[in-house]
Amino acid sequence: MMQKQYRISAGQLFSILFVNRSVIMLTHNTLLGGGENMVDNILSALLALVLNFVLILPLYFLHRRNPQENVLETGERLVGKPGAILLAVFYGLYFMAIDSYYLSFFQIFLNNIMEPLMPVWLVALAFVAVVCYAAYLGIEAIARTAGFALAIILIGMVWIGVALLPKIQWINYDPFLYNGPKQLFTGTALFLARSTGFSTMALLLPRVSGKKKLKFCIWNTGIYCLMIFLLLGMVGVGGSYLKNQLFPVYTAASLADAGVLERLDVVFITIWVAGLFIQMSTDAYLFMTCLRKVANKKTSRIALPVASLLVAALAVAVTYSLPLQKVFYGVPLLFTITITAAVGIPLVLLIVDLIRKKKRVPEKTQKGEGPA
């Protein structure tokens, strides 16, 4: 007996993806962005926006040809069960690694900025426990929660941006590409590398109803416009002071004054926790989806807490190890893995599907010849 496949709307899917992308905005800094002139990262955001419309094409055409299949099911049909297992393992490990990446960022923030009363490893364990529970509830529950989180994040980010406007000083804006184009391209690679949106779509699109193309355009354009808005605000307020800050958005929020809520850093932390929760919950659910290609549903549910503990352990290890941070936060490695998952695999499957379709057409033509 087949299990019922619950569906979510296109709006809910892109609410999840919008919330997930907010984590990228909050953790951007000059060390990762490729240089000290953060104004160049505004151009990086514009370039990434345009490139996303190109990079989505392999997944778009693959989904249009097989709208009822996710990338794992298409892989199984085209390359067999062993190939599908390899894809499932790759995507499952990818989602868990991304969770360690973002959780370690949050722990570094707690260690260096907040100085919490409890150890960060305990925070990590508590976080992954809540994430596991959310993943067990299913993608529908996560999608509904993402709707509320989206409202909080949009209000919070716009609030921060507007609060920064009165304190902007035009002298803080350096000319574009003042030190050459290197930071432009590094920043673009970073924005693309840190996005799991396409990989999430590769697994969830068959379960999504509604106007997907329209919602994708709104999501892609909206998230980068918001990113540019925040970059303009925080550079205008912080200027060169932000160059040596691990979390410049937080620093800028701390400098802003919003009347009733004078401490905008509280808004920053609320946005980050909400975004990280939705990001990790979605990835945990997708990890179980991948594991069900290798094992049964019960095994995947048992394996999730084990994988989550490994995520927490890796995040803690990265938090306290500079060599691990250099590898883990390096743009080339993350960019390669993300582009492989988001673009490379859908492109290869699309090419294989097209080749097989061309081979089937002559066979059907030949079988159709002769007496009726």
Q: Could you tell me the CA-to-CA distances from 177 to 60, 153, 185, 241, 248 in Å, in that order?
A: 33, 31, 11, 19, 20
Report the distance separating Cα 328 and Cα 67, nearest Å: 35
Strands (DSSP E) contained in the chain are: 8-9, 208-209
Report the distance separating Cα 170 and Cα 329, nearest Å: 32
Residue 265: pLDDT band (50, 70, 90) is low
What is the pTM assigned to this prediction?
Answer: 0.89
Q: Which two tokens stand for residue 48?
A: 């990434």
pLDDT of residue 131: 95
Highest mean pLDDT among 156-165, 185-194, 255-264: 185-194
Report the distance separating Cα 296 and Cα 292, nearest Å: 5
Q: Tokens 């190939």 identify what position?
A: 83
Q: Is the pLDDT of residue 152 over 60?
A: yes
Q: Is the pLDDT of residue 277 over 80?
A: yes
Closest CA to 249 of 164, 325, 326: 164
Report the distance separating Cα 311 and Cα 328, nearest Å: 13
Residue 198: pLDDT band (50, 70, 90) is very high
Residue 370: pLDDT band (50, 70, 90) is very low
- Which has the higher per-residue pLDDT, 361 or 43? 43
Averaged pLDDT, 85-93: 95
Contacts with 277 (C-beta within 8 Å, 6 or more apart), sequence order: 127, 130, 131, 134, 145, 149
Give yes or no for a contact between 40 and 176, defined as CB atoms under 8 angstroms apart.
yes
- Which has the higher per-residue pLDDT, 279 or 30? 279
Q: Is the pLDDT of residue 32 over 70?
A: yes
Q: Of 39-53, 74-88, 251-265, which range is least confident?
A: 251-265
Q: Of 122-131, 322-331, 340-349, which range is least confident?
A: 322-331
pLDDT, the chain, mean: 86
Q: Is the pLDDT of residue 278 over 90?
A: yes
Q: Is the pLDDT of residue 331 over 80?
A: yes
Q: Is the pLDDT of residue 177 over 80?
A: yes
pLDDT of residue 1: 37
CATH number of 8-354: 1.20.1740
